[in-house]
Amino acid sequence: MIVFPAVDIQKGQAVRLRQGLAEEATVFADNPVDAAIRWEREGARWLHVVDLDGAFAGDARSFDIVRAIASAVTIPIQLGGGIRNATIAARYLEAGITRLIIGTMALEEPSAFAELCQAFPGAIGVSLDAVEGKLKTRGWLGASDCTLDDVLPRLAHDGAAFIIYTDISRDGMQKGANLDVLRSLSRKSPIPLIAAGGIATLADIQALYPLSVSGALCGVISGRALYEGTLSLKEAMAWIDQQEKKADVWYFAFSSFFAPSLWVRRRAPTLRKSLRKERRTRWPAT
């Protein structure tokens, strides 16, 4: 499971909003490039970058800043906000962004979204940003009648490489993640799932970790908590690494020692399937 530090860009600065409201911004760095470099130095394996101005305006408002971030760090970046057509998507990929996150277009223009997934296989994911079960678009100001269950099968079929679920009411509020929705989503999702919204402490990450063993959860996004220090990136990553190492030991023991025994051999297909699943839901290190 990966911890994605968030770098959200608004008016040229690195900010975090509360519940997605543009007027509820806290500035955490005057230059988003500095924030990105900081997270890389602290050991981040991926960055989650959002062009908030782009999401509100529907275009690549902060393209130059995003390009500067991509040149300044060596870790892979996933980027969302304002990617509403294939031309913008291609420009970002050329600028060195590894994965693109699509919100509005995935809900409002299904066929264009499917074409985008086909044009850039493995590089396109979707953000499903919800309030009381209903998905939002256009900087979270646009309402849609869609629910997670309505769109998930279609998005996976269209070729989305991953989904990010954000509980908007928890975003920036330090309340903990929405475990009920994430538990159900991690069971249902045929593609890797990343959780966002409310993840504020190591305990929140520990509560989510089992969903990466039993289901599709492969990452968590945290912003305000990392900037304000209620969550330590190093501590969180060390804890996750420790859990995954234990899982590796079990996998190794299973394949090399237990598997030959008669009892295990009879149950081998089920055991192997659940252990493989645990390995499969890990986010690629790229």
140 binds ligand AMZ (CB under 6 A): yes
**Residue 81, interface with ligand AMZ (CB under 6 A)?**
yes
User: Which residue of this chain has its Cβ atom nearest to ligand AMZ in the complex?
Assistant: 80
Position among 62, 98, 127, 212 found at the interface with ligand AMZ (CB under 6 A)? 127
Q: Which residues of 236-269 are buried (b: 16+ CB within 10 A; e: fewer)?
A: bbebbeeebeeeeeeeeeeeeeeeeeeeeeeebe
What's the min distance (Å) between Cβ of 62 and ligand AMZ? 12
Size of the site for ligand AMZ (CB under 6 A): 21
Marked catalytic residue, from 51, 53, 129, 167: 129
Map the footprint of ligand AMZ across residues 157-196, applying CB under 6 A.
166
- Binding residue for ligand AMZ, selected from 101, 152, 185, 199, defined by CB under 6 A: 101
Residue 248 among the catalytic residues: no
Asked whether position 20 contacts ligand AMZ by CB under 6 A, the answer is yes
Which one of 30-38, 76-84, 198-206, 278-286 is the stretch in contact with ligand AMZ (CB under 6 A)?
Answer: 76-84
Please say if 129 is a catalytic residue.
yes
Question: Closer to ligand AMZ at the Cβ: 137 or 212?
Answer: 137
Catalytic positions, written as ranges: 8, 129
Using CB under 6 A, list all residues that contact ligand AMZ. 17, 20, 50, 52, 55, 80-84, 101-105, 127, 129, 137, 139-140, 166
